[in-house]
Amino acid sequence: MLNSKIMKRNIMLFKKIVWTIILPVSLLSFLACNELDIKPTDGIDPDKAFRNLEDIDMGIKGAYAAIDYTLIENNVTVSDEAIMPAENVVSNTNAYRWLYTASSSSVTSAFREYYIVIDRTNRVLTGLEKLTNVDETKKGHYRGELLAIRAYAHLELLRAFSGGYEPANLAIPYMLESKISYPARNTVQEVVNFVKTDLNEALSLIGDEASVSRISKPAVYAILARTALYSKDWPLAISASTAAINAKPLASQQNFARIWTDQSEDEVIWSLKKSEASDSRIGSFLFREDGGIALFAPSSKLLNLFDKDNDIRYSSYITYDPDRGAGKSPYLIKKYVGRSSDAPGLTNIKLFRTGEMYLIRAEAYAETPNQLLGTADLNQLRKSRITGYTDQTFADKEALIREIYTERYKELAYEGHRFFDLKRRNLPVQRSAQDAVNTSGALTLESGKAQYNFPIPATEMSVNKNMIQNPNYSN
């Protein structure tokens, strides 16, 4: 009975959500047939799609449904978090070996995916504004939630496709409505300003609902903290991360291990809920059950940083199995093994956690005269993860920031941060010689190389006359 209800609800969702075209951002609305004055026959008129707040709620769920783990996979593939072991003879190697171009879907598909999220969000916002005689508090909450989704999606696009994170660097178009257009790229600073505007309004509208599967006030603060980190707005990074930390304390060591099998939501600020019936399985890009092939395994560079006996993250993130057989990696990435053996690789995707907030605040403090507070945050996080940890001190700001980056490498491993963290500091991706298996010599990716920035997709370049490609790629 429950499954039939879920199926019926999903059918209603897809019937009521205004259809979204899976095309470049400049053509997201092209097939609305405005120029030919022909009404589409495979979708619902926007004016009829959102008749009440229940329809709006379904539309919001449709926006959430378009978010996936693509950028997490991209970070694992192109950074120094993982190796592609010799047993992997089935995966596309271009991304791992930094051979991607603007035509490589392995690193460009997130561009389309997040603009679908944005387009759905903007369509629902338009429908919401037309509703009258409804609960204004609930209407306001939904508007706040939609603005936060839109801000988050643009932030993720900025992280992935900006040609660097300095204020004047070209970022991505910030889409405030769904329409036929040829948008030019906004600068990083312009995108940051739009994100902050959306998030600040969201904070004034969102109520106190606390489900981690939808954006709540703590999630808005977390998105704001990440935005401040990338824009080097250190006072905002401190205040926003503090608000998120106060709302969601760090998990105990026991419950930290249970987060990854969905047995605990401690310190989870926002998580994408995934169901067994139809959703993608994040663990599937790491391990193939049919044949037992590890597609990616932990890098020795990362493994060597852990206190394997006392750090709860090591046993939560990594499996060691020396009996897998000749030619197979004895180390496996455990983080996304799944919530049960009946659904391997299926688990909710944790987009924001309190651990990240501590590291954002520690880095922000390190960049201000309050470096002792940054040290205290770093020590507090380590004490929560490592049994018997003793507080450390650091000689200067540079030493503290190095340790914070090392801790981000460990704490946030396989969560979609490492490549972008290196890019924030203009550091090369440097794989160790021990991790040279299957690299074909791809050991160092310097910041001057084209592949240091993901390319704008070739499809977008071909149809959008105002789009500019990232440095050193061919148009």
Q: pLDDT tens across 389-409, in order? A: 999 999 999 999 999 999 999
Answer yes or no: is 341 within a domain: yes
Token duo for residue 209: 């609902």
Answer yes or no: is 416 within a domain: yes
Q: Averaged over 354-376, what is the pLDDT?
A: 97
Question: Which helix (H) or strand (E) is 82 found in, with range?
Answer: strand 82-83
pLDDT by residue (tens digit) across 85-144?
Answer: 999 988 778 999 999 999 999 999 999 999 999 999 999 999 999 999 999 999 999 999
Average pLDDT in the chain:
90
Q: How confident is the model at residue 35 (pLDDT cuts 50, 70, 90)?
A: very low
pTM to 2 decimals? 0.92
How many domains, the chain?
1
Residue 368: give the domain boundaries. Answer: 51-461
Quote the pLDDT of residue 340.
87
Quote the pLDDT of residue 39.
47
Portion of the chain with pLDDT greater than 70, in percent: 89
pLDDT by residue (tens digit) across 431-464?
Answer: 999 998 889 999 999 999 999 999 999 999 999 9
Answer yes or no: is 380 within a domain: yes
Q: How confident is the model at residue 45 (pLDDT cuts 50, 70, 90)?
A: low
Quote the pLDDT of residue 209.
77
- Between 376 and 93, name the one with better pLDDT: 376
Q: Is the pLDDT of residue 43 over 50?
A: no
Closest CA to 68 of 102, 98, 109, 27: 109
Distance from C-alpha of 6 to C-alpha of 12, rounded to nearest angstrom: 10
Q: How confident is the model at residue 343 (pLDDT cuts 50, 70, 90)?
A: confident
Q: Averaged over 54-80, what is the pLDDT?
A: 97
pLDDT by residue (tens digit) across 310-322?
Answer: 999 999 999 999 9
Please give the C-alpha separations between residue 2 and each of 8, 272, 379, 444, in angstroms, as whole numbers. Answer: 10, 21, 46, 51
Q: Is the pLDDT of residue 18 over 50?
A: no
What CATH number corresponds to the domain at position 145?
Answer: 1.25.40.390
Q: Is the pLDDT of residue 83 over 70?
A: yes
Quote the pLDDT of residue 295.
95
Q: How confident is the model at residue 200 (pLDDT cuts 50, 70, 90)?
A: very high
Answer yes or no: is 473 within a domain: no
Portion of the chain with pLDDT greater than 90, in percent: 83
Q: Averaged over 169-196, what is the pLDDT?
A: 97
Distance from C-alpha of 75 to C-alpha of 77, rounded to nearest angstrom: 5
Answer yes or no: is 470 within a domain: no
Quote the pLDDT of residue 2.
34
Please give the C-alpha separations between residue 417 and each of 78, 81, 218, 339, 421, in angstroms, as whole numbers. Answer: 11, 10, 20, 23, 6
Closest CA to 120 of 276, 5, 13, 10: 13
- Between 442 and 40, name the one with better pLDDT: 442
Backbone angles phi, psi at 269, to 5 degrees: -90, -40
In degrees to the nearest 10, what's the CA dihedral of 404, 435, 282, 174? 60
Quote the pLDDT of residue 16.
38
Distance from C-alpha of 437 to C-alpha of 297, rounded to nearest angstrom: 11
Quote the pLDDT of residue 46.
62
Q: Which of these ranges, 84-88, 272-276, 409-413, 470-474, has the smallest mean pLDDT?
A: 272-276
Answer yes or no: is 358 within a domain: yes
pLDDT by residue (tens digit) across 20-29?
Answer: 333 455 555 4
Where do we find the tokens 């097939």? 31
- Between 222 and 278, name the one with better pLDDT: 222
- Between 10 and 208, name the one with better pLDDT: 208
Answer yes or no: is 167 within a domain: yes
397, 366 in Cβ contact below 8 A? yes
Answer yes or no: is 257 within a domain: yes
Quote the pLDDT of residue 10.
42
